[in-house]
Structure 1
């Protein structure tokens, strides 16, 4: 059985590598569009689409992992910023407040013809940020391709005040949840 990560995210690759998982990467080009409105349903739907896109291109004994992450604040889903101005507005809106990070995870076993999708939610509080702090953070370039315009594992660690929940979920792959799915649904231990 071969494990395939349906994501080009360096963060997701690093999380899997850090626990010694032998896997390959096949980036999903699935369109990231959904009719879902609730953050948990959005990330589950998009993770399914990403994993399914890759699954359609494979044949044999493969286990495919798809994931999608969004930030949810005040009833609004914040995805990846379009540009620096969009990143500034997102970080300004998150400043001094709690928000939630949702990641949907889908695992597909081609051999078993089985798909399992779940999600994880983590509460995150951003420090009170001055405009100058936000501009300085944006100039680091870390906001690019990050839901909510920050990366908790990099310079973003300097603007995050505290979290309640799974840190790795905020990075982009709730590895403990993935471990549970592998063990419970596919009888595979990552330990």
Structure 2
């Protein structure tokens, strides 16, 4: 681990236990702070734009609370499930959870996960929120953009997303109701958790498993490399 990595702290803007667990795999010091933001977006917002903007909103809110902290990278993430172009958020109740899972049964859907990294030591220009910046592909599963750069050539903010395809096997109504009784679906986008009992219904995943969990680790690592943060390189 190089000197820069040793001086870097990651500040995760999330209350999700899954994201807290995943970010620990990077091997850098981690702080956690819930973002407490308004997650409403205009109706009809495309899912890729939605997850990017919400991840930016979460990271930006926490970065704003913490002032200009040199050596701290604030990370925000957001995940939605999309079926036939319709965004499935967290179910409001058991009936909505049942309707979501019934619709997903035997079908393939998309999981979009957005991620934002902000250098807390910099003041962000308004172009970040406007979605400007150089767009770069991330393999065939996503993209990211360098939204702003400082005088030293290093980014102030990076925003991106991944898309994964998840196929459910056919599920009986009895299985769906039993799964809902576990309580697991109620705080999950699309009413299921890939890291929990919901995995029993998944036939296959095409894309990034950790994005489906809620934090695209490989993309996050790629973003950190832009700051010269290389936890696993000498």
1:15 pairs with 12, 22, 26, which one?
A: 22
- TM-score normalised to structure 2 length: 0.79
SS of equivalent to 2:97: helix
C-alpha deviation, 1:2, in angstroms: 2.3
2:35 pairs with 28, 34, 37, which one?
A: 28
Query: Separation in 2 of the partners of 1:34 and 1:48?
Result: 13
The question of whether the paired residues in 1 share the 8 Å contact of 2:167 and 2:204 is answered with yes
1:159 paired to 2:169: no
Higher relative contact order (CA 8 A, sep 6+): 2
Equivalent residue pairs, number: 190
Query: Separation in 1 of the partners of 2:40 and 2:58?
Result: 11
Q: Deviations over 1:86-144 (max 9, x none)?
A: 11000001000000000000000022441110001100001101100100111111112
C-alpha deviation, 1:21, in angstroms: 3.0
Q: Deviations over 1:137-188 (max 9, x none)?
A: 11111112100000011101101110101000000001000000111x2121
Q: What is the RMSD of the two structures over their aligned residues, measured on CA atoms? A: 1.1
The question of whether the paired residues in 1 share the 8 Å contact of 2:162 and 2:211 is answered with yes
Give the number of the structure whose alpha-carbon radius of gyration is greater: 2
1:1-191 to structure 2, matched below 5 A, reads 1-35=8-42, 37-59=45-67, 60-61=69-70, 62-113=72-123, 114-183=156-225, 185-191=226-232
Structure 1 residue runs without a partner (length 5+): none
Query: Separation in 2 of the partners of 1:143 and 1:110?
Result: 34
Query: Separation in 1 of the partners of 2:33 and 2:188?
Result: 20
More displaced 10-residue stretch of structure 1: 67-76 or 14-23: 14-23
Structure 2 residue runs without a partner (length 5+): 1-7, 124-155
